[in-house]
Amino acid sequence: MEELLEKLLEAVELGKVDKKSPYPPQLKGMDGAHEITINAIEAGIDPQKILEEALIPAMERVGKKFADCKIFVPQMLMSARAMGASMFQLKPFFASGDIKTKGTFIIGTVKGDLHDIGKNLVSMMVEGGGWTIVDLGVDVGSDRFIEALKNNPGAVVGLSALLTTTMVNMGEIVSSIKVQMPETKILIGGAPVNDDYCRKIGADFYAPDPQKAVEYLNRIAS
């Protein structure tokens, strides 16, 4: 059983989605995250253990490599795809309550901005870290964030922006959320924002990369 978990960790870390996937070359023709997860479930491994001892450590390694510039967006996306293939098999166990999540993370690219690569990377990393994701997509205004919070009390919010012309909308969204739900934790990220801007608009945390977002969420969940 431990061997299966180690193989799954390796498959996710290296971005091996399934057996037919040619990437990475050194694992060509071998089972990927899809098959290994099925085998682990059929072998009777607790789904919670699959999450905590394979997927979460794998994505932690990926996040650290990305933060240290040892891998880049394409490799990270492949790892995220492999993680998604495994998570697909675990979804029924989340729904049934057999897998306990750390909390709910609501994320969206702010109003006026249609870029989603950064948002998607953060979503995948956070989900791989054991959180339930509510992805609102792009061009999201304060009303949709507030509606999602009402449907998911106690959730943490993540705001993404890639443009200097749209980052200004973060301030209005943060203000609207804090007025109605002042206890809500809000983190922001994206190319044009920084710590100073985070403090200026009253958000709680600035994440310069996906791994820092995961680390912050884990701190407030513990």
pLDDT at position 38 is: 97
- Asked whether the predicted pLDDT for residue 160 surpasses 90, the reply is yes
Q: What is the CATH number of the domain that holds 172?
A: 3.40.50.280
The string of pLDDT tens digits covering residues 181-200 is 999 999 999 999 999 999 99
Candidates 98, 135, 106; CA nearest to 120 is 135
Number of domains in the chain: 2
Give residue 42's pLDDT band: very low, low, confident or very high (50, 70, 90).
very high
CB 59 within 8 A of CB 65: no
Structure tokens at 100: 């306990």
pLDDT tens sequence across 91-146:
888 878 888 889 999 999 999 999 998 899 899 889 988 899 999 999 999 999 99
- pLDDT exceeds cutoff 80 at 222: no
What CATH number is given to the structural domain containing 44?
A: 1.10.1240.10
State residue 94's pLDDT score: 82
Q: Would you say the pTM of this structure is higher than 0.75?
A: yes
pLDDT band for 12, please (50, 70, 90 cuts). very high
What are phi and psi for residue 138, nearest 5 degrees?
A: -115, 165
The CA angle 2-4-16, to the nearest 5 degrees, is 140
Q: 134-171 in b/e burial notation, b at 16+ Cβ within 10 A?
A: bbbebbbbbebbbebbeebeebbbbbbbbbeebbbbbb
Does pLDDT of 161 surpass 80?
A: yes
- Average pLDDT score over residue span 29-56: 95
- Which SS3 state, helix, strand or coil, does residue 220 take? helix
Kindly state whether residues 109 and 87 are assigned to the same domain.
no
Predicted pLDDT of residue 97: 81
Q: From CA 42, how far away is CA 218, in angstroms rounded?
A: 30
Same domain, 74 and 134: no
Q: Is 116 exposed, middle or buried (0-12, 13-18, 19+ CB in 10 A)?
A: middle
**pLDDT mean over 76-88:** 92
| 47 vs 40: CA distance, rounded Å | 8
Output the pLDDT for position 117.
87
Q: How far is CA 40 from CA 20, 81, 109, in A?
A: 19, 18, 36
Same domain, residue pair 128 and 211: yes
Q: What pLDDT does 140 receive?
A: 98
Please report the pLDDT score of residue 142 as a whole number. Answer: 97
Does 55 lie in the same domain as 6? yes
The reply to whether 37 and 119 lie within a common domain is: no
Kindly state whether residues 135 and 108 are assigned to the same domain.
Answer: yes
- What SS3 state is found at 104? strand
> What is the model's pLDDT at position 129?
87
Segment 163-180, tens digit of pLDDT = 999 999 999 999 999 999
pLDDT of residue 156: 98
- Are 108 and 200 within one domain? yes
**Domain carrying residue 89:** 2-96
Q: State how far the Cα of 43 lies from the Cα of 98, in Å rounded to an integer.
A: 16
